Amino acid sequence: MSTTALDPTTARRPGDRLLPPLQIGPHSIDTPVVLAPMAGVTNGAFRRLCREHGAGLYVAEMVTSRALVARNEESLRIVTFDEDEEVRSAQVYGVDPATVGAAVKIIAGEDRADHVDLNFGCPVPKVTRKGGGAALPWKRELFTRIVEAAVEAAAPYGVPVTVKMRKGIDAEHHTYLEAGLIAESLGVAAVALHARTAAEYYSGHADWSAIAELKRTVTSIPVLGNGDIWSAEDAVAMVEQTGCDGVVVGRGCQGRPWLFADLAAAFDGRPDRVRPGLRMVAETIYRHGELMVEEFGDEDKGMRDLRKHMAWYLKGYPVGGDSRRGLAMVSTLAELRELLDALDLDQPYPGEAAEGTRGRQGTPKRPHLPEGWLDSRELDDEFRARLAEAELSVSGG
């Protein structure tokens, strides 16, 4: 994480709240923490699991505007929420203003969600090579038109729109300050910054000083910080160093839905933290499995989707290779129960071994962009045609 710090204007005493509630349009989020939408992770089952541990704004997996307009069955499933989700939050990705506007109108006009986030942060090559995701704000007119279309489509229904973005394409092509000002001027309810460029992907350390700079630049709406929040202490440090109005948590909660309990305590000024022994971890895994089966209405599909979470849950715990392999291939709830019960469930929390990074990391990558993309900030007809191909079937990275 960045160590660039701002001078705190006041000293907090134990028990003092770190921040006031986060205001997203008409919605007040008491704990100013947002679950980042993650493809294949933040489905209804995982969101419920996180809600059972803590509080915040929990965003569904990203869907593409084209798929929503086509009423793709999987996309409509993704924007289906539990009755007890107080603020139903959907994230939309798109590269065509008219299609994005139509998708947002479906979500807002059909009362499918209470909040829409626009994704301009995806660094995945299959998206950026066609000019989408983190590459798109470089074309300022297109970015403006997309945000404008979304805000106009949502406004009649009182649904706030927010923007999530990265610093830019690479160290020489930053876009976040300009994009933040454009979004603010068009009436978005908040902006969130993942403090890495597309080239940095998920590698290295997030540049928290960029979040501070965005906060100094965008002054009339909340600015949220994202990147390298692996613990409640990281969230507190980000707020104190950048002045941001809330935090967005992604990979840090993978295999650790109880992180939201830690975050709620930290933002309330309380020192208590969840440090689970293996028994609690096992019960959480089984609960996750039950919710997955309920989510998909299919035990086999639910278990297959659960498998990728196993390594995250068991990080740092001395669980043998055979047990790990068995859990990574589990196919029924009965088998899951048997495998979990066979573990040494009296193991205590392993400490530092269970902390820190998880999920995808990798190394910096040269961004995959359309040929000549960086030559101009304007969008010509050839690039307009290419951008139409950037909207993938359902979900991106």
Q: What is the pLDDT of residues 137-158, one digit of tens each?
A: 999 999 999 999 999 999 999 9
Place 231 in a pLDDT band, splitting at 50, 70 and 90.
Answer: very high
How confident is the model at residue 131, as a pLDDT? 85
| Residue where the block lists tokens 């208590």 | 272
Pairing of strands 168-170, 173-174: antiparallel
CA–CA separation, 226 and 21 (whole Å): 18
Nearest Cα residue to 28 out of 245, 240, 260: 245
The catalytically annotated residue of 50, 122, 244, 253 is 122
Residues linked to residue 74 through DSSP beta bridges, in sequence order: none
Residue 390 near residue 131 (C-beta atoms within 8 A): yes
User: Two tokens at 120?
Assistant: 């301009």
Query: Phi and psi (nearest 5°) for 355?
Result: -95, -175
Q: Is the pLDDT of residue 238 over 80?
A: yes
Nearest Cα residue to 123 out of 198, 22, 21: 198
| Residue where the block lists tokens 């933002």 | 267
CA–CA separation, 163 and 142 (whole Å): 14
How confident is the model at residue 390, as a pLDDT? 54
Mean pLDDT on 188-207:
95
Could you report the per-residue pLDDT of 169-188, keeping only the tens digit for each? 999 999 999 999 999 999 99
Q: Is the pLDDT of residue 4 over 70?
A: no
Residue 367 near residue 170 (C-beta atoms within 8 A): yes
Q: Domain 22-274's class? A: alpha beta
| Residue where the block lists tokens 């291939």 | 329
CA–CA separation, 212 and 180 (whole Å): 13
User: Two tokens at 226?
Assistant: 């994202």
Could you report the per-residue pLDDT of 19-35, keeping only the tens digit for each? 999 999 999 999 999 99
Place 356 in a pLDDT band, splitting at 50, 70 and 90.
Answer: confident
Could you report the per-residue pLDDT of 40-85, keeping only the tens digit for each? 899 999 999 999 999 899 999 999 999 999 999 999 999 999 999 9
How confident is the model at residue 13, as a pLDDT? 65
Q: How many CA atoms lie within 13 A of 235 on its CB side?
A: 30
First to last CA, the chain: 22
What is the SS3 assignment for 226? strand
Write down the mean pLDDT value for the chain. Answer: 91
Mean pLDDT on 284-307:
96
How confident is the model at residue 364, as a pLDDT? 79
Whether this model's pTM surpasses 0.85 = yes
CA–CA separation, 128 and 66 (whole Å): 17
Query: Phi and psi (nearest 5°) for 126?
Result: -65, -20
Nearest Cα residue to 175 out of 339, 377, 327, 385: 377
How confident is the model at residue 391, as a pLDDT? 55
- What percent of the chain is predicted at pLDDT more than 90? 81
How confident is the model at residue 151, as a pLDDT? 98
Residues linked to residue 64 through DSSP beta bridges, in sequence order: 93
Collect all residues with Cβ–Cβ distance below 8 Å to 104 and sequence separation of at least 6: 65, 92, 116, 149, 150, 153, 154, 159, 161
Q: How many CA atoms lie within 13 A of 375 on its CB side?
A: 7
Query: In Å, how far from its chain's centre is CA 97?
Result: 23
Nearest Cα residue to 85 out of 40, 129, 35, 150: 35
Place 316 in a pLDDT band, splitting at 50, 70 and 90.
Answer: very high
How confident is the model at residue 378, as a pLDDT? 87
Could you report the per-residue pLDDT of 80-138, keeping only the tens digit for each? 999 999 999 999 999 999 999 999 999 999 999 999 999 999 898 888 888 889 999 99
Q: How many CA atoms lie within 13 A of 227 on its CB side?
A: 31
CA–CA separation, 229 and 154 (whole Å): 31
List C-alpha distances in Å: 319 to 286, 306, 310, 315. Answer: 16, 18, 11, 9
**244 catalytically annotated:** no
Mean pLDDT on 297-316:
96
Residue 55 near residue 262 (C-beta atoms within 8 A): no
Mean pLDDT on 185-192:
98
Query: In Å, how far from its chain's centre is CA 79?
Result: 15
- What percent of the chain is predicted at pLDDT more than 70? 91
